Amino acid sequence: MRHVLILNSDKQEPLSVLQQFPDLRHTVMTSEALRSFYPEGSVVGVSDLGDVGAVLARASEVVGPGGVTDVVAMTERAVPTAAFLRSYFGLPGMKYDQALIFSNKVAMKRALAPHVPVMAFEPAASLDDLPARGEHLGWPVIVKPAFGAGSEDTIAIHSPSHAQVLDRAGVFDGLRGRRLPLIVERFADVIDEFHCDGVVRGGRVLFASASRYFAPPLTVVGDFHGSVHLSPDDPTAQALVDLHARVVAALGLDDGVTHLEVLHTAEGFVVGEVACRPGGGGITTSLRHMYGVDLWREHVAAALRLPPEVDGARPRHPGKVYGLCGLPAKGGTITRLSSADALTRLDGVYAVSMRYKPGDRLSARRSSVFFTGEVFFRLDHADDLRAFLRRLRDTYVCETDASVQAQGAGTC
Amino acid sequence: MRHVLILNSDKQEPLSVLQQFPDLRHTVMTSEALRSFYPEGSVVGVSDLGDVGAVLARASEVVGPGGVTDVVAMTERAVPTAAFLRSYFGLPGMKYDQALIFSNKVAMKRALAPHVPVMAFEPAASLDDLPARGEHLGWPVIVKPAFGAGSEDTIAIHSPSHAQVLDRAGVFDGLRGRRLPLIVERFADVIDEFHCDGVVRGGRVLFASASRYFAPPLTVVGDFHGSVHLSPDDPTAQALVDLHARVVAALGLDDGVTHLEVLHTAEGFVVGEVACRPGGGGITTSLRHMYGVDLWREHVAAALRLPPEVDGARPRHPGKVYGLCGLPAKGGTITRLSSADALTRLDGVYAVSMRYKPGDRLSARRSSVFFTGEVFFRLDHADDLRAFLRRLRDTYVCETDASVQAQGAGTC
C-alpha cells in the first residue's frame, strides 16, 4: 500500500480528495501551530514547512517499514520542500530542481525569458544590491523575495532616494529579516491582470481556464479582490490559454496543476509568475462550479501519477459569467462579520465560504490574500459585474477591534 | 569579483589551488570543530556540512553585497549540500538533482543500471525492510547508507538469522542512529577492485587513470591499503577507462572530476560507486606525481567553469609503476609512529605524507580510510609490489595507548 506524506497547512479541501483514491494511506506534515486541526496519530508537526532541514529531519524520523512512497505538497510553501524530499529519498514525482523553477522566481524567469515575454529582471543577493540593480534595469522597479506566494514583501520603488525613504520607514524590515534571495524586476504599467489555471499530464494541457482579475492585486490590498472566468470562446481567453501552453513547454512541465499570472501591459501580455499547484483564494472552488473540474483532485492525481479525470472540459452553463470575490479582512478581533447566509441572499451569489466568525482574532498582514472568506457568483452578463460588486460592498460587514481579547482561535 | 563559498573540512590541498585562480575571493564554510584550522574572518562554522538546512541558514547570513557567486564542495559530504545552495540561489554549476546522482547511491544506481553493469540493488527506507529486500535480491547482501563516503556502516549480511545476530551485537546501531535512507545490494564476490579517476569537461573525458587496489577495501580495514596506477597501455586500464566514459555518459556529467570504483567479479567488471570529486587517501597526490595532473586544480576549474589544464596526459616516467599506500591507524593516543624521514628511506618510496605525530589522540573508527598518512612509491616492475609492501610492513611502526591522555590535537 502506498504511504503518502502530505505537506499541508490547515486546508481541508485538498485532503478530502484523498478519499477518492483507494489503496493509499497518508500522514500529514504541517506546522506545529496547525497540528490541532488534525486527529492525533495522523499528523506530524514541523517548525516550518518551508525549512528543508527541519522537514527532512522530521520525515527521516517518521518513515517506518516500507517508508514513504510519495510526497504531495498542498501549499505553495511546501512545493520545493516536498520536491526536495522526493529528490533526497529518490521517490517518483517532480524533483527539487524542477520544482525550483516554479518556486524560485529567478530560476522561473530565467527559464521563461527565452520563450515568452517577461519583465526585465535581475537576481539580488540582498537589499544592498538594490541601487545597482535599479540602475541597470531602469527605475521604477519591483523588489520581492525570490521565494514566496501572494504579494507579501513585494515593494515598488521609484528611485534610489525613494528606496532610502522606504528603508527609513521600515518598509524593508520584513524583507531584510527573512534573509531570502531577492528578485528585482522592472516595474510594469499594468492595464489588466489575468490568471490561467491548467491541468497538464504527460506534457499535454488537458484543461486551461483564463480569468480576469477585478484589478491588479497590488492596487487592491485591503479591498475587495477577485476574478471573473472568461468564456473559452473569448479571444482574450484563447490568447491566454495559448500563452499558458507556451509557459508549460518552456518550463518542461510534464505533470501538474498550474496557476499562471499574466500582466497585460502597453507592450502586450507579460508572464508574471507560474505556480505548480491549484490557485488559492477560492479559484479552485469557483472553477469546480463552472466546469465540474476539481483541480485539487487533479493535483493529487498528477502528484501520484494516477489517471486524470479531466480532458477538455466545457462550462456547465455556457453564456453565464462565473467569478469569485474575496472578502477583505482586517487585523484585530472580529466584532461583526457578515454571515454566509446573509451574503448568499445577494442576487448573483450561488455559494459563500466564510473562514472566520465574530470573536476570531486576526493578525494584520500585508498580502493580497487576506480574506475572511469568498463569495462565488454567477451573472448573466460581464457588464453586470460592476453593479454586483457595488451590491456586495454595500452588504458586506467586517468590523474588528484591536483592543478586544480573542474569544476563538483564528488563523490566517 | 567572484566570491566563492568553499565547503571544506580541514583539507589544505584543495584550498591552496585557489591561489592559481586570480580575481577570486573566497569564504570557507566548515564544521564548527574545524574552524580553528582557518584564519578568523575567512571562515564560517556550521554544525554539519551535510545538513542542508544548517548550511542554507548559515549561507543566507553570510551573503553580503553581490552575494556569493559560486559554491565549491571540497569534501564528499558537502557535494550535495553545495549543489543544493547552487539550486536554491540559482547559481551556476552542478545542481542538486544532478549532484544527488553522485551522492545518493540509489539515484546513482538507477541512473547507471540501464547503461553499465551494477550489482542488483533495492532502496530501503529503514532496517525494518532488510529481510524483505534480502529475500527479493537473494542473500547474501550488503546494506549501507544511501549517502556516505568510505565504507562506514557498510555491512555484509548472509541471511535473516545473520542479520538478527548482527543486530543483537549492536552492529546496526550506527546505521539506525543516522536515520539515512539505505541501499541494499546483492553481495559481490570480488576478485579484484579498481578505481578510475577522471577529468570531464563539456561532457568529454580529458583525463582518466585506472588503478588497482591492493585488495578489496572491505577485507583490509585496519591494515595496509592502497593502489597501483595501471599504465595507460595496459588492456585492463583501457577497459576501465572505456567503462568510465560510459559511466560519465550514463550520468550525464558535463563538468567535474570523477572517482569511480569498479569491482571485478566472476561476471566481469561491475560499477561500484562514482563520486564527483577527487579521490581521497592520497590518490590525487600520487596522480600528480605520475602525470603532472592536479585533480584538485581541475576540480576547482570545473566548478568555476574556468579552462582545464589537462588534456590527455601521459605518465612522466613511462614503464615505472606508481602507487600509494595508506598507513593503518589505531584508536588511542599515539606513543610511537614512524617519521616521514624513516619511511622515505625505504627503497621505492619517493614521498611520504604523515597526518599525525606521537601524542596525537585518534578515535577508533571503522572505515577504509583511517590512516596516519600515506606513502607514495615508484617501482620498476609490478611484480615488485609484494616485496615492497612486505618491507613497508616491517618498517612501519604505529603504537597507541588508549589510557594515555592526549598531548596534541588530533583529528581524523
pLDDT digits (tens, 9 = 90+) for B341-364: 999 999 999 999 998 999 998 876
pLDDT tens-digit readout, B230-240: 999 999 999 99
- Per the CB < 8 A criterion, the answer to whether B302 and B200 are in contact is yes
Of A237-241, B19-23, B247-251, least confident by mean pLDDT is: B19-23
Give the span between the Cα atoms of A287 and A298, in whole angstroms.
12
CATH of span B2-103: 3.40.50.20
A136-165: average pLDDT: 89
pLDDT tens-digit readout, A196-223: 999 999 999 999 999 999 875 555 444 7
User: Is 90 exceeded by the pLDDT of residue A353?
Assistant: yes
> Residue B58 belongs to what H/E stretch?
helix B52-62
Q: Measured at the alpha carbon of residue A298, what is the angle toward residues A297 and A299, in degrees to the nearest 5?
A: 90
Which residues does chain A have within 8 Å of residue B84's beta carbon, measured at their own beta carbons?
52, 96
DSSP A64: -
User: Phi, psi at residue A62, to the nearest 5°?
Assistant: -90, -10
With CA atoms as reference, report the closest residue to B326 among B260, B379, B281.
B281
Q: Does domain A320-412 have CATH number 3.30.470.20?
A: yes
Half-sphere exposure in the Cβ direction for A124 (13 Å, CA): 25
pLDDT tens-digit readout, A356-411: 999 998 876 655 457 899 999 999 998 898 889 889 988 999 998 877 544 443 33
Spell B100-111 as b/e; 16+ CB within 10 A means b: bbbbbbbbbbeb
Could you give the angle at which helices A105-112 and A235-251 cross, rounded to 10 degrees?
110
**Would you say the CATH fold of A320-412 matches that of A189-318?**
yes
Of B126-130, B200-204, B253-257, B261-265, least confident by mean pLDDT is: B126-130
What is the per-residue pLDDT for A199? 98
CATH of span A120-186: 3.30.1490.20
Percent of chain A, pLDDT > 70?
A: 93
CB distance B51–A51 less than 8 Å? no
**Burial status of residue A405 (CB atoms within 10 A of its CB: 0-12, 13-18, 19 or more):** exposed
Give the span between the Cα atoms of B261 and B270, in whole angstroms.
9
CB distance A87–B68 less than 8 Å? no
Q: Return the residue in A89, A104, A110, A135 with the most chain B beta carbons within 10 A, the one to mutate for interface testing.
A: A89
Measured CA distances, A180 to A124, A175, A187, B330, B395 (Å)? 10, 7, 20, 46, 57
Q: Measured at the alpha carbon of residue B206, what is the angle toward residues B111 and B203, in degrees to the nearest 5?
A: 40
What is the per-residue pLDDT for A407? 43
Residue type for position B117 = P
CB distance A125–B65 less than 8 Å? yes
pLDDT bucket at B375, cuts 50 / 70 / 90: very high
Domain boundaries, chain A: 2-103, 120-186, 189-318, 320-412
Percent of chain B, pLDDT > 70?
A: 93
What is the per-residue pLDDT for A118? 97
Give the span between the Cα atoms of B233 and B216, in whole angstroms.
23
Give the span between the Cα atoms of B57 and B43, in whole angstroms.
15
Computed over every residue of chain B, the mean pLDDT equals 90
User: Is 60 exceeded by the pLDDT of residue A316?
Assistant: yes
Quick check: A67 contacting B, CB < 8 Å? yes
User: Is 90 exceeded by the pLDDT of residue A158?
Assistant: yes
What is the per-residue pLDDT for B406? 44
B144-150: average pLDDT: 83
User: Phi, psi at residue B210, to the nearest 5°?
Assistant: -100, 140
User: Is 80 exceeded by the pLDDT of residue A267?
Assistant: yes
CATH of span A189-318: 3.30.470.20
ipTM for the whole predicted complex goes beyond 0.85: no
pLDDT bucket at B278, cuts 50 / 70 / 90: very high
Cross-chain CB nearest to B66 (options A51, A60, A125): A125
B325-340: average pLDDT: 91
Could you give the angle at which helices B79-89 and B52-62 cross, rounded to 10 degrees?
50
Give the span between the Cα atoms of A115 and A136, in whole angstroms.
22
Computed over every residue of chain A, the mean pLDDT equals 90
pLDDT bucket at A63, cuts 50 / 70 / 90: low
User: A 239-298 residues with CB below 8 A of B?
Assistant: none
CATH of span B190-401: 3.30.470.20
- Chain B, nearest residue to A126 by Cα: B65
What is the per-residue pLDDT for A243? 98
Number of Cβ pairs < 8 A linking chain A and chain B: 103
What is the per-residue pLDDT for B284? 95
What is the per-residue pLDDT for B364? 66
